[in-house]
Structure 1
Amino acid sequence: MTPKTVPATPRSVVLAVAGAFLLSACGAQIDETTGPDSRSTVQRCGEAVEYTVPQRAVVYEGGSADKLFALGLAGHVHGYVMPPANPPVSQSPWAADYERVEFLSDDLLNRELVADAQADLVVAGWNSGFSDTRGITPEILDTLGIQSFMHAESCFNYPGFPERHTPFEGLYIDLERLGKIFGVEGRAADVIAGYRKRVTEVQQKAPSGEPVRVFLYDSGTDQPFTAAGQVPPTDIIRFAGGVNVFADVDARWAGVSWEAVVESAPEVIVILEYRDAPAQEKIDLLKNHPATASLPAVVSDNFFVLDYNEAISGPRNIDGLEKFAEYLRDYAATG
């Protein structure tokens, strides 16, 4: 397949040259052989795309920003878009990096915003940032000379160029691909190796016996919204020693029925906490909802709160895994 080349605009060429001067001061140590005009061919989901080294990336949500910050690339990030669901960036392990870049909006990602920001790369997920209905897709950005990068975890249903990975493998693949685009492959390899090591250590400590049945409650009253098989919480639950009761649903996030939740009889319920939807409100709903009040997890008060940025694809998935694994070990020891 011939890689797609995003056309360079005069603006992006000027920014690329200016960015070369800033690299050493901004913490992104590009390999000496990799200049701002260097090109690399990297998969964007199932499509081979040719990239130049970005200097004004716009990132959508914490997972996108964290991937670049974890690779030491804050100097290549112009700004971030952070909808209200996301926790405060001051709570991030990369809070100092967020301070260095511009807060662009607390709205959804849109074409006008990235054009006004003079972005030369947009990082987001398919249907979680990029959207046909909102008119901001990789294809549309290609016509504007703006590069785009999609989270591999979100690629399984990307039209025309699908790509399927388990969620944590998607995280590693993203870091590897971003490392290649920015010329920091060695650093990316080190970061990935560190994350894999932490996951292996969790797996080695997982409780023995039958996996604990776990239901993740995201939101919803008439119909519960939950984590299906294609999102990080499923791997978090699995690696920690549990099983997501809706792991066999071939989707990312999905609506299910209360009847199906009751039939699954979860022993532990993971509550996904949004900044604008506190976990305690969701716990109270489950304790008072006639369909869930008698669930084993509810009766035993077995709730675990998972932070929003630990649930979407990003480096903080590893933090969420370690915290939930500790919870499951304590659950197994006392159960």
Structure 2
Amino acid sequence: MTTRTPATPLPPNRPPNRSVPLVHPRALLPLAAASVLLAGCGAEVEEVAEAGAGPVTVQRCGEEVEYTTPRRVVAYEGGSADKLFSLGLVDHVHGYVMPPANPPVSESPWARDYEAVEFLSDDLLNRELVVDAEADLVVAGWNSGFSDQRGITPQILDGIGIQSFMHTESCYNYPGHPERVTPFEGLYADLDRLGRIFGVQERAEELVSGFEERVAAVEEQAPEGDPVPVFLYDSGTDQPFTAGNQVPPNDIIRYAGGENVFGGLEERWTQVGWEPVVEAEPEVVIILDYGDQPAQEKIDFLTSSPAMAEVPAVVEENFFVLDYNEGISGPRNIDGLEKFAEYLRELDR
């Protein structure tokens, strides 16, 4: 039996909420030269911003957008907040919105930063919330934060003077301005773009360089032979939700030496049938851990399912538990990669 629940991530990211078991414009404040202590990585980085610094133009899902330096950011979910905190931007963050399905922020490498800002809501992101917070920037993903149905889109916020930033990974199906990159490249792009918006380009470059080195080190140690077929189980009983090739687990699997059995799907988080899962004969199942259903309950469901009884991963009880914030776009993707890579290296095939 090879079942492991990873430990709490060391310092260096959920699919959108689903029905399936799944303003205030603010004037630019003059900034004096300041030193900022980065809590997440334990490293000190000096952030120097000149008074009266002008706006910068940065891509937002393929669209050129002009930003002024934000001072009251609202972040939706852990991936957004983690990106900001990893760049040492806690002083620019007003607060965060964290639906209850998310793991506790006390488990974050940036727990101190979460304590230093305001918890705004455990509801879904909405326009009234960010207006009441007097936000000058909202950071979220498309369909996992921003939503046509809930009336909070970048265009709507543009119209009321609130800036918005979308995770590049989520831009794949953004109407009008799609942007296609691999999930890890999306993470790197976000850190670079946020670095330019806030004037901390050097810190962003250091972070991205460090992540790339860690990914390369994992690739070098990948098990020899054919990639291990891997199925990610998010949720669902009648039909499972899983990861296509447009979300971070696909990169986590492939860099570690595996192959996502649904990596051929040009999708983000998507529903499939049990028959294709069985036909793919995965040797490992990744359990995405979030919400009110513990990972062990998901494992118990799979091991008791007649349809999955002969699947190699179930027969051998090869389950790996991936933390929610390691599976959505954010700095903790790299932690999840390293843990899963270690698991595959130790797997007895």
What is aligned with 1:212?
228
86, 97, 111: which one pairs with 1:95? 111
**Cα–Cα, structure 1 residues 293 and 116, in superposed 2: closer, same or farther, change >3 Å?**
same
Distance 2:184 2:36 in 1: 32
When the two structures are aligned, how many residues end up with a matched partner? 321
**Cα–Cα, structure 1 residues 221 and 125, in superposed 2: closer, same or farther, change >3 Å?**
same
TM-score by length of 2: 0.89
**Cα–Cα, structure 1 residues 11 and 255, in superposed 2: closer, same or farther, change >3 Å?**
closer
Give the letter for the 1:17 counterpart.
Answer: L
What is aligned with 1:238?
254
Q: Percent identity over the alignment?
A: 68
Equivalent residues of 1:26, 1:75 under 8 A apart: no
18, 24, 48: which one pairs with 1:31? 48
Give the letter for the 1:244 counterpart.
Answer: N
What is aligned with 1:328?
344
- 1:97-116 to structure 2, matched below 5 A, reads 97-116=113-132
Matched residue SS, 2:120: strand
137, 158, 179: which one pairs with 2:153? 137
Gaps of 5+ in 2: 1-22, 39-44
**Cα–Cα, structure 1 residues 22 and 108, in superposed 2: closer, same or farther, change >3 Å?**
farther
What is aligned with 1:12?
26
Distance 2:255 2:240 in 1: 24
Deviations 1:44-67 (A, max 9, x none): 011000000000000000000000
- 1:7-86 to structure 2, matched below 5 A, reads 11-13=25-27, 16-17=28-29, 20=31, 24=35, 29-33=46-50, 35=51, 38-86=54-102
What is aligned with 2:190?
174
Equivalent residues of 1:206, 1:329 under 8 A apart: yes
277, 286, 294: which one pairs with 1:270? 286
**Mapped pair 1:156 → 2:168:** no
Give the letter for the 2:26 counterpart.
Answer: S
Where relative contact order (Cα < 8 A, 6+ residues apart) is larger, the structure is: 2
Alpha-carbon offset, residue 292 of structure 1:
1.1
TM-score by length of 1: 0.93
- 1:246-261 to structure 2, matched below 5 A, reads 246-261=262-277
What is aligned with 1:223?
239
**Cα–Cα, structure 1 residues 192 and 36, in superposed 2: closer, same or farther, change >3 Å?**
farther
**Mapped pair 1:319 → 2:335:** yes
Higher helix share: 1
Matched residue SS, 1:12: coil
Give the letter for the 2:204 counterpart.
Answer: A
Matched residue SS, 2:226: coil
Alpha-carbon offset, residue 293 of structure 1:
2.2
Distance 2:76 2:52 in 1: 23
Off by >3 Å, runs of 4+ in structure 1 = 21-33
Matched residue SS, 1:266: coil
Alpha-carbon offset, residue 38 of structure 1:
2.0
Distance 1:175 1:166 in 2: 15
